[in-house]
Amino acid sequence: MKNEILSVLKKLKTRWKNPGAMEIGNPYQNLVAVMLSARTRDEQVLKLMPGFFKVFPTVAKLAKATTKQIEGKINAIGMFRQKAKNLKKMAEQVVGKYGGKIPSTMDELVKLSGVGRKTASAVLVASFNTPAIAVDTHVHRVTNRLGWVKTKTPEKTEAALLKLIPRAWYKTVNRVFVKHGRYVCIGSPRCWACPVRDLCAFKHKNLTAPKNAQEILADIDRREKDLEQLREQAV
């Protein structure tokens, strides 16, 4: 099983070479981006980032802002009111308890307002080079289809993967499976375009490429290129 897991991760790392979409800037910028990305398209969040960080360049500036001021910079995305409340409280906690420095451990991060294990794991990987597995709906879906886990929730998937995957490969999991789940292993999977289909336990593989397969593949490459450009311009 271990050899199969490593084969899949290596192949997908070759296919999806770019960093995670929210892997931007310093720990403060990275944390804000990941918090805003919950249930929101990455492209929408990244488009907001330059304007947001121009007004709130540091966590101290964010802590002093009003919730309304924060809302005004993020109201183009879903759940912006709740996210604004969480951002303000998080900033106040970081300034008050950690001297304005984003904490670098799981235990400390999950104590911040609006930060769960998924968000904390993403920040640990991107900002502190700490092995962790951030499990979102994509990671949950793809690893279940592969047959690596049989879990009902992302939380249980994370716990299972932490035991299953070699620690040296923790950081690769979210980076490749989020992209793979967004473009290929979608609700109705494009198994015909999957480089690891021969290592996948999914029983209902869709192996017949549609007539517009080349258009679909070109669109995937275009979307990934556009996303990477937005990521590089975010801060």
Mean pLDDT by 10 residues, the chain (235 residues): 93 96 97 95 96 98 98 96 98 98 98 97 97 96 98 97 96 96 97 98 96 98 97 95
pLDDT at 2 (0 to 100): 84
pLDDT at 174 (0 to 100): 95
Task: Mention every residue, 6+ apart, whose C-beta is less than 8 A from residue 46.
Answer: 21, 24, 33, 227, 230, 231, 233, 234
* The 3-state secondary structure of 105-133, one letter per residue: CHHHHCCCCCCCHHHHHHHHHHHHCCCCC
Distance CA 167, CA 156 (A): 18
Distance CA 132, CA 135 (A): 10
pLDDT at 164 (0 to 100): 96
* Assigned architecture for domain 2-18+133-232: Orthogonal Bundle (1.10)
pLDDT at 157 (0 to 100): 98
163-166: long-range pairs with CB below 8 Å, 24+: 164/1, 164/5, 165/5, 165/9, 165/133, 166/2, 166/5, 166/6
How far, in whole angstroms, is CA 12 from its chain's centroid? 16
Residues of the chain with CATH 1.10.1670.10: 2-18+133-232
* Assigned architecture for domain 27-128: Orthogonal Bundle (1.10)
Residues of the chain with CATH 1.10.340.30: 27-128
pLDDT at 1 (0 to 100): 83
**Upper half-sphere CA count for residue 129 (Cβ side, 13 Å):** 0
Residue count (the chain): 235
What CA–CA distances, in Å, run from 186 to 36, 71, 172, 183, 232?
22, 32, 19, 6, 26
pLDDT at 155 (0 to 100): 95
